[in-house]
Amino acid sequence: MKRLFYLLSALGIIVSAASAQIAAGTVRTKVAGIDVIACKTGVKDVVYLRGSLPAGDAKDPADNPVIASLVGGMLDRGTTKHTKAQITEMLDAVGASIDFSAGDHDAEFNARCLAKDVPLVVSLIAEQLREPAFTQEEFDRLKQQMVGHLKRAQESTDFRATDAFTRAVYSTGHPNRQAPPDEKIAAVQAATLDQVKQFHARHYGPAHFTIIAAGDLDIPALQAELGKSFAGWTGGTPPLAVPKSAPTDAPREQTVFMADKTSVSVTYGQATGLHYGDPDYFALRTATAILGSGFTGRLMGNVRDKEGLTYGIGSSLKNDTFTDGDWSITATFAPSLLDKGIASTKRQLDLWYKEGVTADELARRKDNLIGSFKVSLATTNGLAQNLLIAVQRGKDVGWLDQYSDVIRGLTLEQVNGAIKKHLNPDQMYLIKAGTVPGAVAK
């Protein structure tokens, strides 16, 4: 049975009606206080389940920025009814999986199984969310693992550049601003099991909890299983209302020196003040893709392909699903080519900023964005993921049917106007992390 499941996964589990209207085939109801969205597809035997609730790091207590992450890390380490090993054995026996995580804003789960095993998987999801064992032994083990992960992350030039960038562009108290790695390590070491239990009791519950199911579904049966497994669960807290980030007084250029690195990672950008779906958001996103999305972007075509100055470079809008976000160029350079690479990057940015994009570039990028989006909906897992993201972004499920028309309707004036309205190269922050020539460790 397990071989059948992995074979279906390897084949991509293509949704047969991907071109049909998604909203028309989706059922959205409240079950045990949970927002349940179910979409039956033409694929046989396979079901994907995804879910999220607003219990991420944004709700950490003021004195410890890692409690939410620790709670998320404890969910799959046993319950009051089953040990971690017993749950793993039950899932492995039917070729199913359940994964939990906690990010800056939400705690999430991602599960997959055969249709016949939906009752088992739903019951285990509910059990792990509602009744985690929170044993001291597993908690101590998780803390050791998190400290190790944070220490390894400090050896990554990419991580150090993007991490420092968050503290440059986001003001203190904003959820997108990350605590320095050393502070996080100290916070993990200081965290107590009581803090984790208190956070779970306060923030986990059906209120503002969304579950997505897609695949070979018996929707009434799914709703019944969810109602049974989550019956009597109470609690949960609403998403935070986060003010837009205020300007910071961080230096416009910063170096994070790391000895003996073969490359330097660069992050160059600014806060946008834009939340996903705001006016101008899609215009700026499309313009940004023209500048630096993949091998067809201007940055790769010039800084990498023509001048040979970088291993990789791109531009993107990020961190704007739940709050106002940021815009950045990220690149990796050999230390000996760093100055030339940054100069070339700035030339391309200035040209794009001053002159905008062309009508031909816009037409091609629209086709690319629409095509990529449709491809992302073509598997059951991709459909479930996109449905959850739409809800997290404050959209209805019908947004998946509307997206292509929104992109198709963008004008050249809107796209070029958004660049100048929301960005300013003179106000951008330049972060360099690695063995930067002439720099020394602080």
> Which tens digit of pLDDT belongs to each residue from 285-318?
999 999 999 888 999 999 999 999 998 999 999 9
Q: Taking the alpha carbons of 27, 28, 34, 38 in that order, is the dihedral positive or negative?
A: positive
CA proximity to 326, closest of 256, 247, 388? 247
For residue 206, tell me if it sits in a domain: yes
- The β-bridge relationship of strands 429-434 and 253-257 is parallel
The answer to the question of residue 237 being in a domain is no
* 327-351 mean pLDDT: 98
pLDDT at 20 (0 to 100): 56
Asked whether residue 159 falls in the same domain as residue 27, the answer is yes
Same structural domain, 386 and 429: yes
The closest of 335, 373, 353 to 421, measured between CA atoms, is 353
22 by DSSP, 3-state: which? coil
Q: List the structure tokens of 166.
A: 């968050």
* Cβ neighbours of residue 265 closer than 8 Å, sequence gap 6 or more: 157, 158, 160, 161, 162, 330, 331, 332, 432, 433, 434
Q: Which tokens in the block code for residue 228?
A: 């049974």
Residue 39 β-bridge partners: 26, 214
Both 285 and 189 in one domain: the answer is: no
Burial class of residue 442 (count of CB atoms within 10 Å of its CB; 0-12, 13-18, 19+) = exposed
Spell out the residues 6+ positions from residue 332 whose beta carbon is closer than 8 angstroms to its own. 157, 158, 263, 264, 265, 266, 310, 311, 312, 313
pLDDT tens track for 53-68: 999 999 999 999 999 9
Categorize the per-residue pLDDT at 83 as very low, low, confident or very high, splitting at 50, 70 and 90: very high
User: How many C-beta atoms surround the C-beta of residue 386 within 10 A?
Assistant: 21
- Other CB atoms within 10 A of residue 311 CB: 14
Q: Are residues 215 and 257 in the same domain?
A: no
236 is a domain residue: no
pLDDT digits (tens, 9 = 90+) for 14-55: 444 344 589 999 999 999 999 999 999 999 999 999 999 999
Structural domain includes residue 240: no
**pLDDT band at residue 338 using 50, 70 and 90 as cut-offs:** very high
**Are 149 and 283 part of one and the same domain?**
no
Q: Is the pLDDT of residue 3 over 60?
A: no
Instruction: Find tokens 């998946």 and name the residue.
Output: 400
- pLDDT confidence of residue 14: 43
Residue 435 predicted with pLDDT over 70: yes
| Mean pLDDT computed over every residue of the chain | 95
**Residue 94 belongs to domain with CATH number:** 3.30.830.10
Assess whether 206 and 263 both reside in one domain: no
| Res. 11: pLDDT tops 80 | no
Q: What is the pLDDT, as a whole number, of residue 166?
A: 99
Answer yes or no: do 218 and 363 share one domain.
no
Residue 198 reports pLDDT greater than 60: yes
Q: Indicate whether 147 and 69 sit together in one domain.
A: yes
Quote the Cα angle for 391-167-349, to 5°.
80
Average pLDDT of the residues in 177-189: 97
Is a pLDDT exceeding 50 seen at residue 1? no
What pLDDT was estimated at residue 15?
45
Is residue 402 one of the residues assigned to a domain?
A: yes
Q: What is the C-alpha separation between 337 and 380, in angstroms, rounded?
A: 44
Closest CA to 101 of 142, 159, 131: 142
Contact status, residue 76 vs residue 145, Cβ threshold 8 Å: no
Between CA 43 and CA 249 the distance in angstroms is 53
pLDDT at res. 296: 87
Residue 275 lies in a domain: yes
Is the distance from CB of 359 to CB of 415 less than 8 angstroms? no
Note whether 192 and 271 are same-domain residues.
Answer: no
**Is 439 a domain residue?**
no
Q: Identify which has the larger pLDDT, 4 or 204.
A: 204
Asked whether residue 243 is assigned to any structural domain, the reply reads no
* Domain of residue 78, residue span: 2-230
Q: Look at the chain and count its residues.
A: 442
CA 42, 48, 54, 58 torsion-angle sign:
negative
Do residues 216 and 303 both lie within one domain? no
| Number of domains the chain is built from | 2
Q: What DSSP string runs through 209-229?
A: -EEEEEES--HHHHHHHHHHH
- Give per-residue pLDDT as tens, 148-164: 999 999 999 999 999 99
Among residues 215, 230, 245, the one where a domain terminates is 230
3-class secondary structure, 202: helix
Model pTM above 0.85: yes
If asked whether residues 297 and 150 sit together in one domain, one would say no
Domain shared by 175 and 281, yes or no: no
Under the banding of pLDDT at 50, 70 and 90, the label for residue 441 is: confident
Q: pLDDT band for 12, please (50, 70, 90 cuts).
A: very low
